[in-house]
Amino acid sequence: MTEMSRKYTQVKIDWHAIDRLRDLQGIAIRSLEKDGVINHTTYNRSKKSGCMRNDVFEAVVKRLGGERDDFLLSPNRASRSGRAVFGLPPTEEWAVDESTVCSEWITLPNGLQYKICKMKHITIADHFGRGKYFDLMSIPLHLRDTVMHRLERHAIVAKSVIPTPHLTQVYSCVADGTRAGWWVIDRWIDGATLSARLAKGVWPRKQLSRLMKDILNGLSALHDQAIILRELNPRCICVPDSGPQAVITDFEMAKLYSGQPTVRNGHWPSSRYRAPEVDSDQLTPSTDLFSWAMVLLFAANGTEPDSTNIRGELENAKLPGVVAEVVTKCLSSAPSRRPKNCEAVRKAISKWT
Q: Which residue has the higher pLDDT, 335 or 112?
A: 335
- Domains in the chain (CATH in brackets) are 8-69 (no CATH), 77-187 (3.30.200.20), 191-348 (1.10.510.10)
* CA 148/CA 183 separation, integer angstroms: 11
Mean pLDDT for the chain overall: 84
Please state which of the ranges 66-70, 209-213, 214-218, 307-311 shows the lowest mean pLDDT: 66-70
Both ends of the chain: CA-CA distance in Å?
78
Q: Is the pLDDT of residue 250 over 90?
A: no
Q: How far is the CA of 202 from the CAs of 22, 61, 195, 229, 288, in angstroms?
A: 43, 51, 11, 25, 22
Confidence band of 268 (pLDDT split at 50, 70, 90)? low
Answer with the residue of higher pLDDT: 25 or 331.
Answer: 331
> What is the rounded distance in angstroms from the CA atom of residue 77 to the CA atom of residue 333?
51
Contact 212, 296 (CB under 8 A): yes
CA distance 96 to 309: 43
Distances (CA, A) of 163 to 51, 168, 225, 251, 259: 43, 6, 11, 12, 22
Query: Each residue of 70-99: pLDDT tens digit?
Result: 677 654 433 444 567 887 888 889 999 988
